Structure 1
Amino acid sequence: MPEARQQGGSEATSTLGHVLFLAVFTFYWITLTPFVDLTGAAAVDPVAGNSNALNQLVAILLFGSLTLFFLTHRRGVSILGHVWILALILLWAIFTSATALHPDLAIKRTILVMMIVCNAAIVLVLPRTVEDFARLSAIVLFAMLAMCYFGVAFRPTLAIHQASEIREPMHAGLWRGLFSHKNSAAAAMVLAVIFGLFIARSWSRLAGWAIVVLAAFFLSQTGGKTSTLVLPAILILGWIIERFPALRYPVILGGLGSFNLLAVGSAVSEPIRDWVRGLGVDATFSDRADIWRFAFEAISERPILGHGLQSFWQTDNLVYSGSTVETWAAAAFNGHNAYIDTVVELGLPGLLLTLIWLIFLPLRDYGRAQQSDNNPALTRLFMRIWLYAVLLSCLETIYFQGGGALWFCLLVSVFGLRLQSSAQLVPARYRQPSAFLEARHA
């Protein structure tokens, strides 16, 4: 009887963990507000101070549920990894928020970001096995893809960009599915392809390759050039650094540094701009150069403290300041470069801390994970997600966002690489609750 009760309790705990996993992944992949109408006048209003009461309530409930589950059932598991760097970033974000023009907004965004960080760390210990992780991920991905294709087929005005849209009518005809923009849809489809390859290797070939095919075709219809080009690049770069570990630092750091130098440099340096044009590349990087020049002006005003987390772009005082008369970039949603935006919001010290947390430490953890006996397919999944996010961050703002699949999955990959490097996966024959906790399953 005691064994039966223990087994029943273990199954109940496992089921609850799976339910929480599905809830969290659904919240970030599908959100509570799919199929946004972009044709209304409100589409051009500043959104920095906007808040959705239901979204905030659900976010708090999920955070509370995950934290309670972790403290009750998984408290023996080390999840946050490099706590010192997270503590420094949190303290610096709070300090810069207190000095920002919109301190209330910046502090609220800081709290939200830290909740997402904790959610991403805890979600990794909810599945009992790698197969569970793959199966549960597949359920959410199939739901996301089904909604996207349903929208295209039956709700095209909400799932395909329209010429009647106020802000960007030039995107008419491009698919966006349940997402608010074609670029967001493209990023999600790339992530789905990466997950699909992992699912095919770790759980079901049929399900995994179905996700890959469906996501790849949808990606081709989004017109997301950056994501489409980055996908094969990360598969190739991932293959190189997996087979030649000594190259991971020069390849990744050199690639990030060179690309940012060329892209951002073309916005402020005429010689670099001419050289980029000579390569046959759009030196404006789809009009991002104007945004980067404007961002550098903002950086020059507060290079150390920044303007506060998510408290610069799309604020009322910026959009209605008259700067939009001088340049359209003042009305941009973000800086379209995560590294520049980090300086804009958190200053140069914030950028340094972010680079340590999201670039240098994951690179080191990946090297250690390769030397461990843990599942290589899981390590490869985390590495590909991380690599995609940090490369795409050269042209899109991803770091410290309030929600969305890409920022959440980047955090999952960072914590996943840490666990793969420092913890031991439980072999199938030892998948009892006690061994599960002692081994600190990733």
Structure 2
Amino acid sequence: MESAAAGSSSAPIVDRKAIGTVLFMALFLFSWISLTPFYDLTGEAVLDPSAGNSNRLNQIVFLLLFGCMLVYGVMHPMRRMILQPRILLATIFLWFLFVSVMSAHSSNSIKSVILAVMMIVNASIYLMLPASEKHFAKMLAIGSLAALGLSYYGIFMLPQFSIHQAAELREPMNVGLWRGHFPHKNSAAAAMVLMSFFGLFVMRAWSRIIGAVIFALAAFFLMQTGGKTSTAMLPLILVLAFIVERFPVLRIPVVVGGVAAFNLFAVGSSVYRPFGEFVASLGIDATFTNRADVWRFAFAAIAEHPFTGYGFRSFWQTEELLYSGGQVETWAVAAANGHNSFVDILLATGIPGLVLTIFWIIFMPLRDISRIDAKQASPNLTRFFLRVWLYGLFHAGLESLFYEGGNVLWFTFVVGLYGFRFQSTATLVGREAAGRATAT
């Protein structure tokens, strides 16, 4: 970060830092808070598939942020890192465009592909904005406290929009569970896990007190969301990240084997009855909160188009599906998504799309991690990116997040992928500054 900026004579380093700070905070707050926080889940619009969550102002602000980020990135000495690995990503998105053009909703599918590309461009530039590790930690702390403060404000001042109510039309059974300014308890739970990781990083890279406050606020909020999976994953990911960091020989078994086993354990129990009976015998809900119905329905659909899929955003919540009369057979036709990122990518883009995605998000990071030199790269940053990456991979087994343009977990996950790429070529700078470690 700092050394890259110093290598450019186009602008003083203080100007680059100021601009980077403004862009970092603007994109962070837009992603984590948005222009329209707090969602009303009691209106009939939540049941209307044609009612989008976006509006023209959101679109304009996003385009402005994307334009500013792109200009900053192109003028940055490390602009070659934008949208890397380019050959792989070009292959992925060309395939996505191909299957989307063939879909029944090609216009919406193509728009979704373009939005996904723009989000990844933003993520690839995001780590160029901080001037140092400490600067990065400070901005994360400020943004985290702002998002947490807004969520807690909602709990005490706007409970009807921050706590699930019995009057909600889609899932009234969630009554009493916290969601803050997020649209659902599950999205709030995932956000709080990430905030916990932010707090731990801030403790090590900048301020132990502020970091501890962020961690405590996020962890307490997480427990109030009722998100059992995310709550259980928080300590689990901390342990797995420690193992992956300290024991290189176990990286492939933990990551590849762990993700495969988790998806087999979850999705497999819905597809193979004997396996489902075995899971149930362990005292575990083999339906994974009724997700099993969605997965069985999804696999039946995948069997009809295994190679090309149905196109980006061209299956769930489409009018053909919702008004097909299939509710008599299964409620899954009304599901918002497949509740599994790997299943959804297979459903949308077929086998090629799934294989390419797995190569990008699992095997490429494993390669980058193996190239990280502990003596040259910042261990605090590496540990932080590991936690975000592992949580995203395992969380994907129960929720949909891959290529979701407006999903803050997906955005942070992709930032982690680029964090590994930066760390694999990192060099510590400022050694004379009392041991302060910053990475290129």
The answer on whether the counterparts of 2:238 and 2:387 sit within 8 Å (CA) in structure 1 is yes
Match of 1:427 in 2: 430
The answer on whether the counterparts of 2:427 and 2:439 sit within 8 Å (CA) in structure 1 is yes
> Matched residues in 1 for 2:169 and 2:84: separation?
45
Match of 1:42 in 2: 45
Match of 1:434 in 2: none
CA apart distance, 1:324: 2.2
Match of 1:14 in 2: 17
Match of 2:32 in 1: 29
> Matched residues in 2 for 1:389 and 1:396: separation?
10
- Structure 1 position 358 matched with structure 2 position 361: yes
Which segment is superposed worse, 6-15 or 341-350?
A: 6-15
> Matched residues in 1 for 2:51 and 2:231: separation?
29
Match of 1:72 in 2: 75
Aligned residue identity for 1:369: I
CA apart distance, 1:240: 1.2
Match of 1:435 in 2: none
CA apart distance, 1:73: 3.5
User: Which string of whole-angstrom CA distances, capped at 9 and with x for unpartnered residues, describes residues 51-88 of structure 1?
Assistant: 42222111111110001112224455524332221111
Correspondent of 1:393 among 382, 392, 396: 396
Match of 1:367 in 2: 370
> Matched residues in 1 for 2:394 and 2:162: separation?
27
* SS, match of residue 318 in structure 1: helix
Aligned residue identity for 1:154: M
User: Which string of whole-angstrom CA distances, capped at 9 and with x for unpartnered residues, describes residues 313-332 of structure 1?
Assistant: 11122111222232111111
User: Which string of whole-angstrom CA distances, capped at 9 and with x for unpartnered residues, describes residues 17-63 of structure 1?
Assistant: 11000011111111222100000011111158664222211111111
> Matched residues in 2 for 1:208 and 1:350: separation?
39
Percent identity (aligned): 51
User: Which string of whole-angstrom CA distances, capped at 9 and with x for unpartnered residues, describes residues 101-149 of structure 1?
Assistant: 1000000000000000000010110111000111001111000000000
Distance 1:48 1:367, change over 3 A: farther
User: Which string of whole-angstrom CA distances, capped at 9 and with x for unpartnered residues, describes residues 282-323 of structure 1?
Assistant: 110110000001111221121111111122111122111222
Structure-to-structure mapping, 1:78-97, within 5 angstroms: 78-97=81-100
User: Which string of whole-angstrom CA distances, capped at 9 and with x for unpartnered residues, describes residues 233-262 of structure 1?
Assistant: 101111112111110101111111112112
Match of 1:437 in 2: none
- Structure 1 position 144 matched with structure 2 position 177: no
Match of 2:247 in 1: 244
> Matched residues in 2 for 1:318 and 1:372: separation?
54
Match of 2:5 in 1: none
- Structure 1 position 325 matched with structure 2 position 307: no
Match of 1:436 in 2: none
Which segment is superposed worse, 148-157 or 70-79?
A: 70-79
Correspondent of 1:283 among 282, 286, 294: 286
Aligned residue identity for 2:277: D
> Matched residues in 2 for 1:167 and 1:109: separation?
25
- Structure 1 position 268 matched with structure 2 position 241: no
> Matched residues in 1 for 2:425 and 2:377: separation?
10
Correspondent of 2:223 among 220, 225, 228: 220
Correspondent of 2:171 among 164, 168, 188: 168
> Matched residues in 1 for 2:146 and 2:214: separation?
11
Match of 1:315 in 2: 318
Match of 2:110 in 1: 107
Match of 1:404 in 2: 407
Correspondent of 1:197 among 190, 193, 200: 200
TM-score (norm 1): 0.93
Match of 2:191 in 1: 188
> Matched residues in 2 for 1:213 and 1:235: separation?
15
Aligned residue identity for 2:31: Y
> Matched residues in 1 for 2:79 and 2:319: separation?
46
Aligned residue identity for 2:67: G
Correspondent of 2:417 among 403, 410, 414: 414
Aligned residue identity for 1:59: F
CA apart distance, 1:188: 0.3
- Count of aligned positions: 429
Correspondent of 2:300 among 297, 300, 305: 297
> Matched residues in 1 for 2:37 and 2:319: separation?
25
- Structure 1 position 377 matched with structure 2 position 380: yes
Aligned residue identity for 1:402: G
The answer on whether the counterparts of 1:79 and 1:415 sit within 8 Å (CA) in structure 2 is no
The answer on whether the counterparts of 2:377 and 2:439 sit within 8 Å (CA) in structure 1 is no
Uncovered stretches (5+) of structure 1, i.e. residues with no partner: 1-5, 431-439
Q: CA RMSD in A?
A: 1.9
> Matched residues in 1 for 2:343 and 2:11: separation?
52
- Structure 1 position 177 matched with structure 2 position 198: no
The answer on whether the counterparts of 1:34 and 1:179 sit within 8 Å (CA) in structure 2 is yes
Distance 1:244 1:47, change over 3 A: farther
Correspondent of 1:121 among 121, 124, 133: 124
Which segment is superposed worse, 70-79 or 213-222?
A: 70-79
> Matched residues in 1 for 2:52 and 2:109: separation?
10
Which segment is superposed worse, 141-150 or 420-429?
A: 420-429
User: Which string of whole-angstrom CA distances, capped at 9 and with x for unpartnered residues, describes residues 355-375 of structure 1?
Assistant: 000011112212222545110
> Matched residues in 1 for 2:249 and 2:112: separation?
38
Match of 1:157 in 2: 160
Aligned residue identity for 1:417: F
Which segment is superposed worse, 295-304 or 157-166?
A: 295-304
- Structure 1 position 341 matched with structure 2 position 344: yes
The answer on whether the counterparts of 2:345 and 2:402 sit within 8 Å (CA) in structure 1 is yes
